[in-house]
Amino acid sequence: MTHIRAYLTFNGNCREAMTFYKKCFGGELVIQPIRDTPMAYHMPDKMKDCILHSTLTKEKFILMGSDMIGEDGIQKGNTVSLLLDCNTEEELNKYYNNLSAKGIPTHPIETTFWGALFGGLTDQFGNHWLLHFQQKNTNEKD
């Protein structure tokens, strides 16, 4: 089955961001700096500590990141959000609190008309997160 994965691009702070996300979610973080690759010979010294590729994995949760940006640099917009479909209310609250540290809550956690807990925020790195926990099926009768 095909899976969609979130791949975040940073401007020299990938290690810091991915380490923060590891603290938020747990899991295993693998980081590959440019310095440890054959690309290092072709890059300026200031780029050698940048991250070529990183992966944070926890069960089916996979978040990837890199410092490799094009000539135009980072142009953040509001067209991309990372949606966390949580397994429990406790998990949603934990992740919301962790991610909102030094960030901006944009939508407080609330119960929605479709029977879910939902909240949103922009983290300290400018990434938009939506958190969702389906409490009950709205098609079911009590």
Question: Radius of gyration of the chain from Cα atoms?
Answer: 17
Task: Judge whether 71 lies within some domain.
Answer: no
Residues 11 and 51 in one domain: yes
Residues 62 and 88 in one domain: no
Residues 10 and 62 in one domain: yes
Task: Judge whether 105 lies within some domain.
Answer: yes
Task: Judge whether 74 lies within some domain.
Answer: no
Task: Judge whether 58 lies within some domain.
Answer: yes
Task: Judge whether 127 lies within some domain.
Answer: yes
Residues 62 and 86 in one domain: no
Task: Judge whether 41 lies within some domain.
Answer: yes
Residues 13 and 62 in one domain: yes
Task: Judge whether 73 lies within some domain.
Answer: no
Q: Total structural domains in the chain?
A: 2
Residue in 37, 57, 64 with CA at minimum distance from that of residue 48 = 37
**Residue 141 has what pLDDT?**
43
Torsion of CA 5, 10, 15, 18, to 10 degrees: -40
Residues 11 and 61 in one domain: yes
Look at residues 66, 93, 113 and tell me which one is the last residue of a structural domain. 66
Residue in 48, 108, 118, 53 with CA at minimum distance from that of residue 83 = 118
Q: What SS3 class is residue 16?
A: helix
From first to last of its 142 residues, the chain has per-residue pLDDT tens of 667 789 898 989 999 999 999 999 999 999 999 999 888 888 888 889 999 999 999 998 999 999 988 767 777 666 688 989 999 999 999 999 999 999 999 999 999 988 999 999 999 998 999 999 998 764 444 4
Whichever domain contains 29, its CATH number is 3.10.180.10
Q: List the domain range (segments joined by +) for residue 97.
A: 81-134
Task: Judge whether 26 lies within some domain.
Answer: yes
Residues 86 and 117 in one domain: yes
